A and B are shown apart, each in its own frame.
Chain A
Amino acid sequence: MNQMRDWRLAVLAAAAVLLFAAVAFGGGIKDRMKERLPEIIKLKAAGVIGEDNQGYLAFVGGKQQQQALVDAENQDRKRVYDAIAKQQGTTADLVGQRRALQIAEKAKPGEWIQNAGGKWIQK
């Protein structure tokens, strides 16, 4: 009887740790992404960066401002795509491509987007 209770407690503890880890991991990335949003929106409006067809930020034109910020954003996106791919039993590439479609749909007029054929267009 006591052994059964110990098992239940162990399972509950493991579930709590997993839940905490998931919230902490997801929350951390989300917070960082939200913090970067104002700067990313400015860079997009200035035509410095655009959204490629794989779900990542990319420099368009000659200027390469805020390289560290763009790299950090892309690294976090990669982590999210990897996690979703693992959860759904697919590839991170497919997740990124699906995200690129969502981003393109929500993009503001004037922002640079790479279409499925690889061509950069201004929405």
Chain B
Amino acid sequence: MFKAASLLFLAISLAFLGMSGCATHHEVEVKPVEIKPIHITIDVNVKVDRALDDFFGDIDETAQEIKQAE
């Protein structure tokens, strides 16, 4: 009885040992993405430029006309 239990214990131990040897470990390195803030900055600049064009567009045109007339 004791012998049988010892053999079972040994078999289970060997099985665990075998499985741990087969186990693999993967480390996936995730690098920080730095593109997003740049995109946001460009987006704000584009929107601001557009708003400036909307307001100053005709003023700049008038200025160019005055400069050309001189």
**Cβ of B8 < 8 Å from any Cβ of A?**
no
Contact B59 A88 (CB under 8 A): no
Number of residue pairs spanning A and B whose beta carbons lie under 8 angstroms apart: 52
Residue of B nearest to A45 (CB): B70
Question: Is B64 interfacial (CB-CB < 8 Å)?
Answer: yes
Residues of A within 8 A of B (CB): 26, 30, 33-34, 37-38, 41, 45, 80, 84, 87-90, 94-95, 98-99, 102, 106, 108
Interface size class of B (residues with CB under 8 A): 10 to 19
- Give Cα distance in the complex from A102 to B63, angstroms: 13
In the assembly, what is the distance between CA of A94 and CA of B51, in Å?
13
Determine whether the beta carbon of B52 is less than 8 Å from that of A98.
Answer: yes
Q: Give the docked Cα–Cα distance between A72 and B56 (Å).
A: 17
Chain B residues with CB under 8 Å of chain A are 44-45, 47-49, 51-53, 55-56, 58-60, 62-64, 66-67, 70
Contact A37-B62, Cβ < 8 Å, known A88-B47, A88-B48, A102-B49: yes
Contact in complex: B64, A34 (CB < 8 Å)? no
